Structure 1
Amino acid sequence: MSVEHRDGSRPSAGSELFWRELRGVTQARIGLGRTGDALPTARVLEFRAAHSVARDAVHTSVDVDALSERIAALDIGTPIRVRSRARDRAEYLRRPDLGREPEDSPEIRKPLSPSTFDVGFVLADGLSPRALATHGPNLLAALIDELAPHYALAPPVIATQARVAIGDPLGAALGVRTVLVLIGERPGLSVADSLGIYLTHHPRPGRTDAERNCVSNIHPPEGLGYRQAAAVVAGLVAGARALGRSGVDLKDGSGADAVKSAVVEGISKG
């Protein structure tokens, strides 16, 4: 079938080349074309395939045993396993509130005895367990490289059926000054395996989203890289400790620093 513009005319060869090149530098669905009064068949099939991948990313469970082995190899302690109060995936999706609280049991309370660690990590499946399995260990490794020279790191926690706020009670139980929640982000039609990092200083139950900082869209090679994300987080951790809090008052200055460095370098070369 031929592709038409909305006015019924066919696109020129130059126009097709323009959209093809532009689609090569973005994951957005642009320049899809038209066949009659509908999208071309290929574009419709691409959309349906992307929708299926997104749905699968939400409902696929993470292999906790395999993930624990990879996390343990990073040598900051044996991972502690917890789950939220949501009994299964269906309840997790219907009841976001249950995903914010860890399941209460003696087995969970015992390993989470308070300590003097500075930074704690919670690896949560969130809305994309696939993202956690794909990127979690490598992202954690990059964070360890950035933070270990400066802070005492707590053994990591793997949380399933979890929402972002589960880091508040877990961070408080660990006794850490700052908790970092690495969580699978809501899948979209372009990206189904993106991770986010949520930072909360002095975590405790009842913290609000305004008291957190987020570094999102972590899914190399198309999204933010592991080391880039870790560098931003390291700056936020240092800033939170200096400011005494995280959230809306804490800003990421890494981009401004990069621009300033580039300007200084350009002046020196000029």
Structure 2
Amino acid sequence: MADQPAPPVDDNPWDALRRFTNARIALGRAGSSLPTAPLLAFNLSHAQARDAVHQPLDTAVLHDALRAAGFETLDAASAAPDRDHYLRRPDLGRKLGDTSAASIAAHAGATSEPPEIVFVVADGLSAFAAARHAVPFLTTLRPKLDGWRIGPVVVARQARVALGDGIGELLRARIVVVLIGERPGLSSPDSLGIYLTYEPRTGRSDAERNCISNVRPEGLTYEAAAFKLHYLLNEARRLKLTGVGLKDESDALLATSANPDALEN
């Protein structure tokens, strides 16, 4: 009986661990290279990550979706005139363009009582994240904000996190919350980051913010992220600060709420 030919792919003994992670482990081997299927999957993920960085945010669709969900909206753009400048000049993405600054200031001037919270939905480095997750996250969060005075949702193009400081300052908000597309990874081209800053003003540093990362169905769910943000908002209002002085202890509360019997043990 003739010897059977060796299979073209050598399986990796860690293959069973792949069900626990999206990381590229236990891909197997074909000769001295990767098998075709994981190589093609890597190329696809790389293309999706590049698309996430360069794809423009469809602000008209996002405005319509936010308004349909019951949110008032404003439009804004940074000083970066296009995507190329945005990627090459991060400083331009941190400050408002003159037209947007004037428009937001005019809105603030027509408002008698300033908001406690202003949400900014920004394209950042992944317009996919803002387009896919901002509206469902905000609709998940809104029932938790009973009693809070919420300002308009500002949809921002070519934006970095610090753009929210200028927006919040012009709107005289107590807290600004920036929902922004994070730098895409090879398994997460649509990860949404959430940054909150107490008493926003131009010149705030990253040490004065709190961050909730990887908000998406495959990462931190909308419900879990809303729970954490609600906790941080309440603590920021109580302590009158955000950043390194505000510790996120919401995980312990979330575990308790999921298992009330733990209080008795």
When normalised by structure 1's length, the TM-score is 0.89
Contact 1:167 1:181 in 2 (8 A): yes
**Match for residue 229 of structure 1?**
225
Distance in structure 2 (CA, Å) of the matches to 1:226 and 1:263 = 19
Deviation at 1:143, TM superposition (A): 2.1
**Match for residue 133 of structure 2?**
135
Q: How does 1:145-156 map to 2 (within 5 A)?
A: 145-147=143-145, 149-156=146-153
When normalised by structure 2's length, the TM-score is 0.90
Q: 5+ residue gaps in structure 2?
A: 1-6
Paired residue total: 255
Q: How does 1:98-117 map to 2 (within 5 A)?
A: 98-105=92-99, 106-113=102-109, 115-117=113-115
Measured at CA, do residues 265 and 70 of structure 1 come closer, stay the same or move farther in structure 2, by a change above 3 Å? same
1:66 alignment partner, SS class = helix
Contact 1:84 1:102 in 2 (8 A): yes
Q: Among 186, 189, 210, which residue is 2:183 paired with?
A: 186
**Match for residue 4 of structure 2?**
none
**Match for residue 57 of structure 1?**
52
Measured at CA, do residues 96 and 134 of structure 1 come closer, stay the same or move farther in structure 2, by a change above 3 Å? same
1:242 alignment partner, SS class = helix
Contact 1:76 1:153 in 2 (8 A): no
2:134 alignment partner, SS class = helix
Distance in structure 1 (CA, Å) of the matches to 2:128 and 2:194 = 15
Distance in structure 1 (CA, Å) of the matches to 2:103 and 2:263 = 60
Identity level (%): 47
Distance in structure 2 (CA, Å) of the matches to 1:109 and 1:116 = 12
Q: Please give the per-residue CA displacement for 1:163-220, whole angstroms capped at 9, x wherever unaligned.
A: 0000001001111101100001111100101111100001000000000000111111
Q: Is residue 2:82 matched to residue 1:88?
A: yes
**CA RMSD of superposed structures (Å):** 1.9
Q: 5+ residue gaps in structure 1?
A: 5-9
Q: Which consecutive segments of 4 or more residues in structure 1 shift more than 4 A? A: 260-264
Deviation at 1:261, TM superposition (A): 5.5
Distance in structure 2 (CA, Å) of the matches to 1:263 and 1:65 = 42
Distance in structure 2 (CA, Å) of the matches to 1:41 and 1:76 = 47
Distance in structure 1 (CA, Å) of the matches to 2:32 and 2:212 = 41
Distance in structure 2 (CA, Å) of the matches to 1:122 and 1:182 = 6
Deviation at 1:242, TM superposition (A): 1.3
Q: Among 14, 33, 36, which residue is 1:38 paired with?
A: 33
Q: Please give the per-residue CA displacement for 1:28-67, whole angstroms capped at 9, x wherever unaligned.
A: 1111122222212222111111000100111111111111
Distance in structure 2 (CA, Å) of the matches to 1:101 and 1:261 = 40
Deviation at 1:252, TM superposition (A): 1.3
Distance in structure 1 (CA, Å) of the matches to 2:258 and 2:129 = 33
Distance in structure 2 (CA, Å) of the matches to 1:73 and 1:59 = 27
Distance in structure 1 (CA, Å) of the matches to 2:263 and 2:65 = 45
Distance in structure 2 (CA, Å) of the matches to 1:34 and 1:225 = 34
Distance in structure 1 (CA, Å) of the matches to 2:221 and 2:230 = 14
Q: Give the letter for the 2:8 counterpart.
A: S
Q: How does 1:241-260 map to 2 (within 5 A)?
A: 241-260=237-256
Q: Give the letter for the 1:39 counterpart.
A: L
